[in-house]
Structure 1
């Protein structure tokens, strides 16, 4: 028996048993097609060898980590849009080779990684990532350390970013092609706004942290932005003390954020449209709909809240908010950790560490420390409960089941207070989801279905 170091790719078919139970003949034919047209050709190109072929997957050996990662990436790219989905895992380590078969920890760990990957995704161990380096050009995203049954120590893993450079290039193009204009809010504050996409109008309410230009390239928590811009005419703005709007404004109250949303509607020439709001933006959108019922045809509220931290009967909520503010006062500009990082970790705990760090840096682009604190004070005292019965449009309330700041009961209170509201819980802890959150496809489906049910109305010219 020969011993060697090898890179192993483990592949598995998602939902194989269910498919076989429903239609075994069609499933086997589909799998045969996938392996003949995708898996085997890609393995040959990558100089790999399939050493075990099961009904629901395969194990493949490579001589280099770079070839293994590149092949797994290519297979999953080719599989996009296919009715069959695969999971993949990549690891490098000692193996024992007995004729055509391969055994050892590298095989076991690759299989564990594969089982933890998202459908259509691929997880790569840090060992494989370090050995491969950046020579194959496959973008990887840190996912932190995972613990696996039968593996003694946690393994730091990376996910293969199937969006890659093409998606980033498209985001850069969107950012550069925007026509930034300015509206004037009731108190004279200049509000930067823009529109992207074509078709039916959807308006996004201003929230705590935003920057019209950097949102595209530096905010990983905006899975909604490319999607809505692709399907709709999306109108959005930087609220006061954010991004390209006037900063350093002392008058930062909740009512002023509602004024800013009205200024956006007026400047964009929108008489009536559905409004999307996330977190603070959800509260702003709801208040706007209550005060201007003839201008809002529907509300999509993601992880919103009825009461700010200081208005709840939960001292621990306010304590968390104060902890973030206290740390930010002493460590705003620190590289890591800083108050900005605590904010990102509290709001997006199930995003990757890399994206939490990126978002912490995005906050610094979007606003000054002083403006961050001003808006924090505004958020603490929000209370829109008296306004909810005045909302006359249908509302879709999407809320993270394990939200750590604006707990699920806040979303349920929104739904209970709005006369025509539907509540949908999302199995995530992320306040505003990155597009790789497992619940994001569900959220998109709910948003699309909701918008389809709202009748189109003429807009101002």
Structure 2
């Protein structure tokens, strides 16, 4: 038997690792085991700083604690000529090639379609999924880790419900077995109206087997949540290199023609999808498109320690992502300072940009029009950022949250405060503020050839609506859409969000591109 079948990691129940000789002893440290579980389950690189913060924020030397844990985990999972713990100076990842991971492999089989798994496979999966996912690791990390763990368990339970649903409706299940699976399905998902009405036994047929179609076990709300989870699981993260050597992390999700979003103030492609701020917007866009976004230099999963942090570098980042994915022609979405990046890119590459969507945009940074008083205030905010950004006190980051979303709920503001801290360092947050002040693409506006729509909140507390109107007046044929909101970043429970998304969808459908 080869190693691909012998080397297994199980996430259902307690975390276990086994090879051809049986179970492999895991480190005694719960934090080390939790780190392995996190790396295996997320299946993507993570910054060392974030892992230290997540698991070892209290020790005097969290970096040393991380190195110690990685050395222990290498003894568990690395094989001669096949290392699975991959680490460089900035990131750590788990390479799952040649490793059977029960949760990952089950999800891959479920995605193959309703009839892909045999009755025997489904029964084995149902038996395997009875244990609590990653049992015993609660509290092994910080609040973010616990939130991630709960979300993973919710997703695993949704997968188990799908397995039970398929078993209850499987044409080869006996009547008694189908009744058992139906009871378990109904117990796991009481709101699934057709679980109680599911026919018994082998008389059940499906479209794949030539029989009548059956209804879904969940209502529209459940479908929307399930779609969000499915998109997040299917997200693919990759890296590309800019001509100055900077590594940029990008993510793609969804199917269909591409739509590219330029980076804006502090993103993190690992965390911003399933969030109260961006999640609904991203899910709406990805419904019928391949949605591409990335972390610009200095934040998220991209390189933090960079020499250049200015408009030219931001455009270089966008160019690198588009070239890496070999995209030929696509709509481009720019939010806040990302709009200036889109404008510059559209002028440089008119053959590639089919449409331009700009939200909360500005063409000129604050330094070009600020009064001496405004400059002094900005300098004070920059100094506060350098001093307090990385602390547990959210007051320093709240300066931005309150102006980005003055009408958001307290919970959303609290989330945004924490999110900003995860995305970058204090030094970079201050550098971003300086870089945004230098932006000036006014002389490029009349050179934009792509059809353009500009959407702007009429009472935007961060970027005055006059900035959006200036862009719309200056780009030939551009359309301006005022939004009744005070929020620079729209949230999905305000009416302006629905108007914004409807306008974008209509704009993209006008010529079918």
Which of 420, 442, 448 is residue 477 of structure 2 equivalent to?
420
Quote the offset at 1:392 in angstroms.
Answer: 0.5
Task: Spell out the pairing of 1:324-339 with structure 2 (5 A cutoff).
Answer: 324-339=381-396
Structure 1 unmatched runs, 5+: 1-161, 457-461
Quote the offset at 1:326 in angstroms.
Answer: 3.1
Matched, 1:452 2:509: yes
Matched, 1:230 2:287: yes
Quote the offset at 1:163 in angstroms.
Answer: 10
Taking the aligned partners of 1:439 and 1:390, their CA distance within structure 2 comes to 30
Aligned partner of 2:89 in structure 1 is: none
Aligned partner of 1:139 in structure 2 is: none
What secondary structure, in the 3-state scheme, does the structure 1 residue paired with 2:252 have?
strand
Contact preservation (8 Å) 1:399, 1:408: yes
What secondary structure, in the 3-state scheme, does the structure 1 residue paired with 2:495 have?
coil
Shift in CA distance, 407/315, structure 1 to aligned 2, threshold 3 Å: farther
Aligned partner of 1:371 in structure 2 is: 428
Contact preservation (8 Å) 1:303, 1:398: yes
Contact preservation (8 Å) 2:262, 2:333: yes
Which region of structure 1 is more displaced relative to structure 2, 384-393 or 328-337?
A: 328-337
Contact preservation (8 Å) 1:211, 1:366: yes
What secondary structure, in the 3-state scheme, does the structure 2 residue paired with 1:424 have?
strand
Shift in CA distance, 233/335, structure 1 to aligned 2, threshold 3 Å: same
Quote the offset at 1:187 in angstroms.
Answer: 1.2
Aligned partner of 1:311 in structure 2 is: 368
Which of 245, 257, 260 is residue 188 of structure 1 equivalent to?
245
Contact preservation (8 Å) 1:223, 1:433: no
Taking the aligned partners of 2:222 and 2:429, their CA distance within structure 1 comes to 32
Task: Spell out the pairing of 1:25-44 with structure 2 (5 A cutoff).
Answer: none
Matched, 1:352 2:397: no
Matched, 1:409 2:458: no
Task: Spell out the pairing of 1:33-182 with structure 2 (5 A cutoff).
Answer: 171-182=228-239
Taking the aligned partners of 2:377 and 2:227, their CA distance within structure 1 comes to 37
Aligned partner of 1:241 in structure 2 is: 298
Aligned partner of 2:398 in structure 1 is: 341
What secondary structure, in the 3-state scheme, does the structure 2 residue paired with 1:276 have?
strand
Equivalenced residues, count: 295
Shift in CA distance, 320/419, structure 1 to aligned 2, threshold 3 Å: farther
Contact preservation (8 Å) 2:276, 2:491: no
Contact preservation (8 Å) 1:327, 1:338: no
Runs of 4+ displaced beyond 3 Å: 162-176, 313-324, 333-337
Aligned partner of 1:251 in structure 2 is: 308
Aligned partner of 1:199 in structure 2 is: 256
Structure 1 residues 105-162: Cα deviation after superposition (integer angstroms, max 9, x where no partner): xxxxxxxxxxxxxxxxxxxxxxxxxxxxxxxxxxxxxxxxxxxxxxxxxxxxxxxxx9
Quote the offset at 1:373 in angstroms.
Answer: 1.4
Structure 1 residues 296-337: Cα deviation after superposition (integer angstroms, max 9, x where no partner): 011000001011111125556545544432332332234444
Taking the aligned partners of 1:245 and 1:179, their CA distance within structure 2 comes to 15
Contact preservation (8 Å) 2:331, 2:357: yes
What secondary structure, in the 3-state scheme, does the structure 2 residue paired with 1:346 have?
helix
Aligned partner of 2:446 in structure 1 is: 389
Contact preservation (8 Å) 1:401, 1:429: yes
Contact preservation (8 Å) 1:277, 1:283: yes
Contact preservation (8 Å) 1:298, 1:454: no
Quote the offset at 1:366 in angstroms.
Answer: 1.1
Which TM-score applies when normalising by structure 2? 0.54
Which region of structure 1 is more displaced relative to structure 2, 186-195 or 167-176?
A: 167-176
Quote the offset at 1:249 in angstroms.
Answer: 0.8
Shift in CA distance, 222/201, structure 1 to aligned 2, threshold 3 Å: same
Shift in CA distance, 365/163, structure 1 to aligned 2, threshold 3 Å: farther
What secondary structure, in the 3-state scheme, does the structure 1 residue paired with 2:463 have?
coil
What secondary structure, in the 3-state scheme, does the structure 1 residue paired with 2:263 have?
coil
Matched, 1:291 2:348: yes
What secondary structure, in the 3-state scheme, does the structure 2 residue paired with 1:275 have?
strand
Which TM-score applies when normalising by structure 1? 0.60
Taking the aligned partners of 2:310 and 2:220, their CA distance within structure 1 comes to 39
**Of Structure 1 and Structure 2, which has the larger fraction of its residues in strand?**
1
How large is the Cα RMSD of the aligned pairs?
Answer: 2.2
Contact preservation (8 Å) 2:238, 2:250: yes
What secondary structure, in the 3-state scheme, does the structure 2 residue paired with 1:434 have?
coil
Taking the aligned partners of 1:169 and 1:315, their CA distance within structure 2 comes to 51
Taking the aligned partners of 1:167 and 1:340, their CA distance within structure 2 comes to 31
Matched, 1:263 2:311: no
Contact preservation (8 Å) 2:407, 2:486: yes
Taking the aligned partners of 1:194 and 1:301, their CA distance within structure 2 comes to 20
Structure 1 residues 175-226: Cα deviation after superposition (integer angstroms, max 9, x where no partner): 3432211111121211111211111211101112111110123462454211
Contact preservation (8 Å) 2:256, 2:288: yes
Taking the aligned partners of 1:199 and 1:170, their CA distance within structure 2 comes to 16
Taking the aligned partners of 1:420 and 1:172, their CA distance within structure 2 comes to 39
Contact preservation (8 Å) 1:325, 1:339: no
Quote the offset at 1:268 in angstroms.
Answer: 1.2
Quote the offset at 1:426 in angstroms.
Answer: 0.4
Taking the aligned partners of 1:322 and 1:165, their CA distance within structure 2 comes to 47
